Amino acid sequence: MRIEVCIGIRIAKGRNAVEDEKHLETAERVVNVSIEKMVYGGEGLSRTEEGVLLVPMVLPGERATVRLAERHKGVRRASVVEVLDPSPDRISPACPYFSRCGGCHYQHIRYERQLEIKREILLECFERVGKIKLETPVSVIAAEPWQYRNRTRLRIEKDPERFAIGYFEPLSHRLCSIESCPISSPAIDAAIGTLAGGLGARCFPDGCAELELFASESGQTLLATVYSVAAAPVSFGEELREAIPGLDSVCWKQENVRSNSEKPETKTTLWGSGAITYHAGEFHFRVGHDSFFQTNRFLLQDLIGAVTGDLEGKRALDLYAGVGLFSLPLARRFEQVSAVESNRASARDLESNMGVVGERARTYRMDVEKFLATAKPGWDAIVADPPRSGLTKVVVENLCRLRPRRLVYVSCDPTTLARDLALLIRGGFRTRSVHLVDLFPQTFHLESVVHLEYTE
């Protein structure tokens, strides 16, 4: 019997049924399962006498020995003990922390198969959640699957004996300490190595914190934001900027500070400009510490192209606009663009970024629901890029009331996307095209862009 070691999971070749049974007799709560398919969340699904099991680190078609975990909130999970029949799509992970670190889910799968799995999951969500049978093919847009992340959020733990930086282990609050992260951009990866190599222990005080790093497309400038319940050390920003080359701005957010009104507040300490400029093709964007921005440095232009497509006309509306990633390109195609963003920091950057197009752009710092409540029909195109929770019922109702000629839905969650599309189709829209933009290689996360048109 030949055994291969792969990320802590044994892969067996040549084991017969007798050996399988003998192996199971000596193991507690261990069963053999066949993996039917991958589901959204990064796990494989198996139907067994124990019920439906969700198993990480597997592929469709594989047979594996798994150890059962307790049922939690109606879901039963299992961990892989041994892969008995490995898939031809299984590869050795490129990262030494894979399976211990909770950041990635698909490194054991060749990249072309990752894309196929995500497409299958997207279609399955459409059919299962939305009862939607697509009449158009799904276009898959992908790029380099490594060193793509321009933003990452890390956990910091320090005491007099130890400094650790990394990510939580899967389904836990245990820290997986790392020295590198191969899906992060070279600038962020280098910063992680610098901090793990000793400079982090010199800069950070004892205790726990979270560190978010955001790098420009070239990696020459970075932002660092620290979240902690502790007060900011007086010289922290200067020391961190000296330790990390290109670090332009440092922000320390002391959370849950008690004020005179006894309401928790956040106290902010800033060293530096508070923002960097991010270039995406011909466009450039001011992005501050608290502003949302897409994380894949290779696919921003492709994402913009997938959203704007063949849109053109007089009036366009960008909902959940962020700093204007789509608003600014839309201003090149429409006579008037209105952009709506409720987050104060993102709205401030949005106003700055849209200033270059002058009177052709109008920005609104308010909730989308409030804006749509008084909005009148007459939009040639509306773009909506909501949070993971998707569109609220009020937003869907107003989109159906406004009846834009074209509607583009940008989503980071296929389940809420399918739910909302079902309501929009019922309200008179039909799908024109669907794009899967793989902004998050090596993980189960996927971005979708759906173009719809009003037909009634």
**b or e along 323-359 (b: 16 or more beta carbons within 10 Å of the residue's beta carbon)?**
bbbbbbbbbebbebbbbbbbbebbbbbbbbbbeebee
Q: How far apart are CA 110 and CA 115, in angstroms?
A: 9
For 127, the enclosing helix (H) or strand (E) is helix 111-129
Longest dimension (CA), the chain: 77
Q: Residue 316's CB: how many other CB atoms inside 10 A? A: 28
Contacts of 432 (CB under 8 A, 6+ apart): 136, 406, 451, 452, 453
CB 354 within 8 A of CB 330: no
SS3 of residue 203 by DSSP: helix
Is-catalytic flag, 412?
yes
Q: Residue 434's CB: how many other CB atoms inside 10 A? A: 25
Q: Which position among 95, 176, 203, 412 bears the catalytic label?
A: 412
Nearest Cα to Cα of residue 447 among 297, 295, 288: 295
CB 54 within 8 A of CB 74: no
Query: What are 328's two structure tokens?
Result: 């600014």
Query: What are 154's two structure tokens?
Result: 């890390």
Please report where in the chains the tokens 């990390």 appear, as a residue: 244
Q: How far apart are CA 95 and CA 326, in angstroms?
A: 34
CB 103 within 8 A of CB 53: no
Q: How far apart are CA 415 and CA 127, in angstroms?
A: 10
Q: How far apart are CA 344 and CA 337, in angstroms?
A: 20
List strand residue ranges (DSSP E) for 160-206, in order. 162-168, 175-177
Instruction: Provide the CB-side half-sphere exposure for 295 (13 A, CA).
Output: 20
Annotated catalytic residues are 412
